[in-house]
Structures are given as C-alpha cells and as structure tokens.
Homo-oligomer: A and B are copies of this chain.
Amino acid sequence: MVKSRQWLLAKKPTDMPQLDGPDATFKLTEKDLPEPKDGEIVVKAVYLSNDPAQRGWISPDINPERLYVPPVKEGTPMHARAISEVIESKSSSFKKGDWVFSSTGWSEYGVVPASSCQPAPELPGGMSRTHYLGALGGTGMTAWFGLTAVAQITKDDVVVISGAAGATGSMCVQIAKNIIGCKKVIGIAGTDEKCKWVESLGADTCLNYKKSSFADDLTKATPEFATVYFDNVGGEILDLMLTRMAKHGRVAACGAISNYNSSKERATGLKNWFEIISMRIQVRGFIVLDFMDKVPEAREVFTKALQEGKLKVEGSEHIVECGFEDVPKTWMHLFDGTNQGKLITKLQ
C-alpha cells in the first residue's frame, strides 16, 4: 500500500491565495492509495507545471459554465499537469521506469488508468523532459497558435508582447522575431534583468513596466503604433496598450494575470474600450485547447527552429526544487514576479 500526500483546495481565494492561517487556500493531507487494478499504473510525480491558468480554476468568481475546464472543487486535490515516473504497472502500455504525463495534480503518487497518461520520452540533444511542460508543450503551443492562428502575424507586423519574460511571453518573442521575422518586436516585463533576457531572445526592445516612465517609454517605442498585441497580463498594461494600437490592430487575449488575484470589486477596470471602436481594433480571446488538432504541425516547426538555432530553450525554465510540503509556496512565485521563463517544481 502506497501512502501519498496531496494538497487539497481548502478555500477558494477571492484575492491573493493564502499559504496559512484560517483562510489558507490549500490543505496538506495524506491518504492510502488503492492497489492498482488491471490497466492501471502507479506513478510518482517528479515535475509539476505551474501555470497562471490554475488561479482561474480555483476562483470563486468563476461560473463553472464559463470556464474551459471543470474548476477545482473545495475539498478535492488541486489540479496540475505533471511529469511522473511509473513505479508499478498493471498495463501493457507502460512499464516500471517509464516517464509519463499524468493529470495527478498536487499529489505525490497516483493510481490512474494507463489510458489517462501520455508517454514523455526523452528529448533529442540532451534537452530536459521538462520542456514538454513549457517551450515544447502547452506553453509553447499557446504562444504559437496565439500569434499565428489568432493574431495571424506576418513579417510586416509590429508586435508588442506583455509578460515577455514569462513562459508564454518568452516563446512569443522568439516566434515573432526569429521564426516569423516580424518587423519589430517589443517586450514588456517587470525588471531590468528580465528585460535584458527578453532582448537576448530576440526582442528589439523590452520595457520595464515598473518604471515610472513606462507609459512614455511605450509611446516612444511605438511611434508607428502596434499592429499586434499579445496580451498575457490584462489590467492596466492592456488598458494602456489599447491607446497604442494601430488602426485595425489585432489583440490576442491570452491571459490576465494582473487581475487573477483581485476580486472583481477591486480589479482594475478597463477604461479605454472606446479605442477598440475608434481604431477598429480586433480582439480575440483564445485557449490553446482549441488548437490541439494542429499540434503536430507546430511541433514540426519548433523542431526545425531548434535545429536552426531560431528557438532556444536553454534558460527558458525556472526550476525550483522543493519538498512536497512547499508545492503551494513554489506555485505562488507565479504571482510575485520571481520566475523568468517557465516555473517548474521539481519534487525532492
């Protein structure tokens, strides 16, 4: 019998999630796992993917009807994507020692149908498997489909990317500048150090939104206005960007992390909607799940770009090694500006 610790969602947070106290968002528990039945495997989580989207899954504001995945219920394990090792198998699909993607959430171990897992084989060139969670996984696909299918970027575009030092944003910068070859790519990030990194990935410039001169800097960086804005953050930066969009500009609405930890009452409301009308701006919200049938094509593009040096995954991960008891604490770094690139938890 395997004992597994797991983190449950204790209380949906209206504002910033709480690590402890009476309103703690998560609760650590332990349970005995059942013996695996035929067709099932026992997996041990090794890497956990940390994604801003998870914040939405635990929000009390969200009407379950209005979310693209079932939200997490209070008293049930927190959802997360994981790369796990198979430690026991009653399935012909996987054997002990195989690596898989599992939807076992914030659990040390899981007993799951083999059919619910996908293989996570080694990557070529000595690349870490963790890139399956980031650059070569959902994050990279989000960047790719958001830019190509949603915003339909071409070489002629002036592209602004917020959250440019984040997992998705850093891929956006490379895709726009190095793969598509856009005329100008402007990143927005939260520290000078991150901005330097974003520029090293290919951005023509990257602006630090925490500087008091940010609004001016953005105006100066976009004298011809932006034809495309890839928005990872929402809130005030989005509001400002609406005033810097070119006529008929396109906004790919990917995320709104700036408001994920604010109740709607406190959230910064968008004031510049009229720009959408007067400048005939087109806004398209999207979720990467809508493009899953095209993932193989995107993988081919990425593989070629990696070979040609147009896409770099080194340095695109921010891996935090911690004990299982610190899983929520590590996840919270998504919201304090710590991570550069994809934030991944490596369980000790």
Q: What 1/0 flags go to A53-74 for Cβ under 8 Å of B?
A: 0001000001100111000000
User: Which of B255, B264, B276 contacts A277 (CB under 8 A)?
Assistant: B255
Q: Which residues of B have CB within 8 Å of A286?
A: 277, 280
* A277/B256 in contact, CB under 8 A: yes
Q: When A66-B243, A243-B66 are in contact, do A271 and B264 touch as well, CB less than 8 Å?
A: yes
Closest to A255 in B: B277
Task: Count this chain's copies in the assembly.
Answer: 2
Q: Which residues of B have CB within 8 Å of A254?
A: 277
* B278/A271 in contact, CB under 8 A: no
Q: Is A97 an interface residue (CB 8 A)?
A: no
* B270/A273 in contact, CB under 8 A: yes
Closest to A276 in B: B285
Q: Which residues of B have CB within 8 Å of A276?
A: 253, 283, 285
* A274/B243 in contact, CB under 8 A: no
User: Which of B63, B267, B279, B285 contacts A243 (CB under 8 A)?
Assistant: B63
Question: Considering residues A68, A259, A271, which has the most beta carbons from chain B within 10 angstroms of its beta carbon?
Answer: A271
Q: Is A127 an interface residue (CB 8 A)?
A: no
* B275/A234 in contact, CB under 8 A: no
A11 and B269 alpha carbons, distance in the complex (Å) = 28
Size band of the interface chain A makes with B: 35 or more
* B259/A274 in contact, CB under 8 A: yes
Q: Taking the nearest CB of chain B, how far is it from the CB of A233, in angstroms?
A: 11
Q: Which residues of B have CB within 8 Å of A264?
A: 271-272
Q: Taking the nearest CB of chain B, how far is it from the CB of A168, in angstroms?
A: 13
User: Which of B269, B278, B287 contacts A270 (CB under 8 A)?
Assistant: B269
* B268/A256 in contact, CB under 8 A: no
Closest to A235 in B: B273
Q: Which residues of B have CB within 8 Å of A42?
A: none
Q: Which residues of B have CB within 8 Å of A269?
A: 268-271
Q: Which residues of B have CB within 8 Å of A66?
A: 243, 275, 278-279
Q: When A56-B278, A243-B63, A278-B66 are in contact, do A273 and B287 touch as well, CB less than 8 Å?
A: no
A285 and B253 alpha carbons, distance in the complex (Å) = 15
Q: Is A290 an interface residue (CB 8 A)?
A: yes
Q: Which residues of B have CB within 8 Å of A285?
A: 275-282
Q: Is A238 an interface residue (CB 8 A)?
A: yes
* B278/A287 in contact, CB under 8 A: yes
Add 12 more A-B contacts to A234-B273, A259-B274 (CB < 8 A): A234-B274, A238-B273, A253-B273, A256-B274, A267-B271, A269-B269, A277-B286, A280-B285, A280-B286, A282-B282, A282-B284, A282-B285
* Chain A interface residues toward B at CB < 8 A: 56, 62-63, 66-68, 234, 238, 243, 253-256, 259, 264, 267-287, 290
A to B CB contacts below 8 Å, 22 in the list: A63-B243, A66-B278, A234-B273, A238-B273, A253-B277, A256-B274, A256-B277, A259-B274, A264-B271, A264-B272, A268-B269, A269-B269, A269-B270, A269-B271, A270-B271, A275-B285, A276-B285, A277-B286, A279-B285, A281-B283, A282-B283, A283-B283
